[in-house]
Structure 1
């Protein structure tokens, strides 16, 4: 399943725990806060002034790499 901008941050982390390092890299440190359970990846990126396409590319790359290993 591909990660999309509409996916909630918490949902992404539950499905793909390895994505935590990407969220941490972009200082989206609200991984344990209410925002992670209620906000989409897109909203989280916008709130942090980040490029959603760049983040999605990295998130999807890390899950694809995991599938290959």
Structure 2
């Protein structure tokens, strides 16, 4: 399965792909994966709110997926 994460995906949808992606979010300083907004915010919106570089997070999430068996 060839899955690519994009900045317009909802945070909750990304986590649903693989729960272990939480570690990538945590490494970037995004710790509120279980909050209500995770179901309504895109990666880009969450990054803007938390001052995180969107492209770097998306790259690291995709790198993780490429190394996993998803």
Q: SS of the counterpart of 2:16?
A: helix
Equivalent residue, structure 1, for 2:57: 55
Q: How does 1:1-69 map to 2 (within 5 A)?
A: 1-67=3-69
- Relative to the length of structure 2, the TM-score reads 0.89
Which has a greater percent of helix? 1
Q: SS of the counterpart of 1:47?
A: helix
Q: SS of the counterpart of 2:68?
A: helix
Deviation at 1:50, TM superposition (A): 1.1
State how many pairs are aligned: 68
Segments of 5+ residues of structure 1 without an aligned counterpart are none
Greater than 2 Å deviation, 4+ residue runs: none
Instruction: Tell me, in whole angstroms, the C-alpha distance in 2 between the residues paired with 1:18 and 1:65.
Output: 12
Instruction: Tell me, in whole angstroms, the C-alpha distance in 1 between the residues paired with 2:10 and 2:53.
Output: 17
Q: CA-atom RMSD, angstroms?
A: 1.3
Cα deviations by residue, 1:43-63 (Å, 9 ceiling, x for unpaired): 001111111110011000000
